[in-house]
Amino acid sequence: MIYLDYAATTPMTDAAIDAYSSAAKELFGNTSSLHDAGGKAHLLLEHARSVIASKMGVNRDGIYFTGSGTEGNIIAILSLARAGKGKHIITSAAEHTSVHAAMNTLEREGFEITKLSFTENGLIDLEGLTEAIREDTVLISIQHVNSEIGSIQPVEQIANIAKLHGIPYHVDCVQSFCKLPIDAFSNNVDAITISAHKVGGPKGCGAIYLNPRKRIVPVFPGVTHEKGIRGGTVDTPAIIAMTVAVEQYEYNLEKYWSLRNNLKASIKSPAIEFIEAPSESQLPSICGLCMKGVEGQFVMLSLNEENICISTGSACDINSASGTKAIMAMGYDLTKARQFFRISFGVDTTKEQIGKLGAHLTKIAID
């Protein structure tokens, strides 16, 4: 099998699996229990919190472990928005489904949501963002890296704009964590979301950073775990496995640019188009493409018959009939959106695999 859907999920590393197994056997105590078994688990949980905080470049007191990136986005957005004094929020039209789910909930509560479009390069227009800010704007939520086309948003500039206007800023870093440095902006934002399974950790585990200096309203008042931010006994083995994966993860920028260029060179049909940002604003391991006259779903199924795994966009949008959000946000029509498919590289991706992929894509386009 040639697996080229790393943006959807990555295989757990051997070290993360070993750490999970060992912790599940030896650290089964509840971290909130006061006996020795609970104390031992709590000690390692807090070590994990420090490791994740250090990797983010933030205060460890603001780190809360969650069950996923989706849950993290929802908790962060609802907690910050409900703590504000206004009823207006700014986001983008191409955020992850979980962000839109949180926005839909807030909209039903009387909030007004402004969804910014992308430019033709797949980026947020900073002037448009500034113009969208109102006196009652209580939150900005704009991603770091788009999960469909891999465009890198100007989060440092967005953070500066938000800070200038005194508006909390939440950044979905699920696709960028451990791949791009986030400490350049992490101390200037009020919430960050990450996920374990994008970097070789287990599924069902993630974390959020919430600025300890900001007032927040817990989504579920009265719960006790994670300082009242997220209820339920924490999954200590998963958190420890996530920490091991984070400590060991390396993103080879040069390798992924080489693979991306190899893919472009191996495609021999003008019907196949890359949907991408300028190179300085592009994560090379996520490739968004369209094949003229062919739906992305057909491309995906055809490659699957050749034992090549790709996707038609975010796995969380697989049942959507409206096309991918990024394409639509860039101004393309629904026909173009339905032609979209995504290829994403990972640690085990080779030049030979990319060559086979390019050959099969060319064949589909010509046939």
CATH code: domain of residue 332: 3.90.1150.10
Express each pLDDT in 263-281 by its tens digit: 999 999 999 999 999 999 9
Residue 110 tokens, joined:
């009387």
Judge if 257 and 241 occupy the same domain.
Answer: no
Judge if 149 and 236 occupy the same domain.
Answer: yes
Give the 3-state secondary structure of residue 87.
Answer: coil
Judge if 178 and 306 occupy the same domain.
Answer: no
Judge if 264 and 211 occupy the same domain.
Answer: no
Residue 47's domain is classified under what CATH number? Answer: 3.40.640.10
Q: What is the dihedral of CA 199, 56, 54, 253, to 10 degrees?
A: 50
Judge if 273 and 236 occupy the same domain.
Answer: no
Q: How many Å apart are CA 145 and CA 194, to the nearest integer?
A: 12
Which positions ≥6 away from 259 have C-beta within 8 Å? Answer: 284, 285, 345, 349, 351, 354
Active site residues: 316
Judge if 42 and 168 occupy the same domain.
Answer: yes
Sheet architecture: strand order including 340-344: 272-275, 286-291, 340-344
Q: Is 87 exposed, middle or buried (0-12, 13-18, 19+ CB in 10 A)?
A: middle
Residue 134 tokens, joined:
């109102």
Judge if 208 and 291 occupy the same domain.
Answer: no
- Per-residue confidence (pLDDT) for residue 28, from 0 to 100: 74
Which positions ≥6 away from 247 have C-beta within 8 Å? Answer: 51, 55
The ranges of the chain with pLDDT < 70 are 29-34, 36-39, 224, 313-323
- Per-residue confidence (pLDDT) for residue 359, from 0 to 100: 96
- Per-residue confidence (pLDDT) for residue 336, from 0 to 100: 92
Considering 217, 248, 279, which residue would you say is the last residue of a domain? Answer: 248
Considering 192, 225, 248, which residue would you say is the last residue of a domain? Answer: 248
Considering 195, 216, 248, which residue would you say is the last residue of a domain? Answer: 248
* pTM of the predicted model as reported, rounded to 2 decimal places: 0.93
Instruction: Report how many domains make up the chain.
Output: 2
Judge if 97 and 36 occupy the same domain.
Answer: yes
Judge if 293 and 333 occupy the same domain.
Answer: yes
Judge if 198 and 270 occupy the same domain.
Answer: no
Domain housing 219? 14-248
- Per-residue confidence (pLDDT) for residue 319, from 0 to 100: 47
Q: What is the dihedral of CA 132, 135, 137, 138, to 10 degrees?
A: 160
Judge if 60 and 201 occupy the same domain.
Answer: yes
Beta bridge partners of 5: 344
Judge if 297 and 164 occupy the same domain.
Answer: no
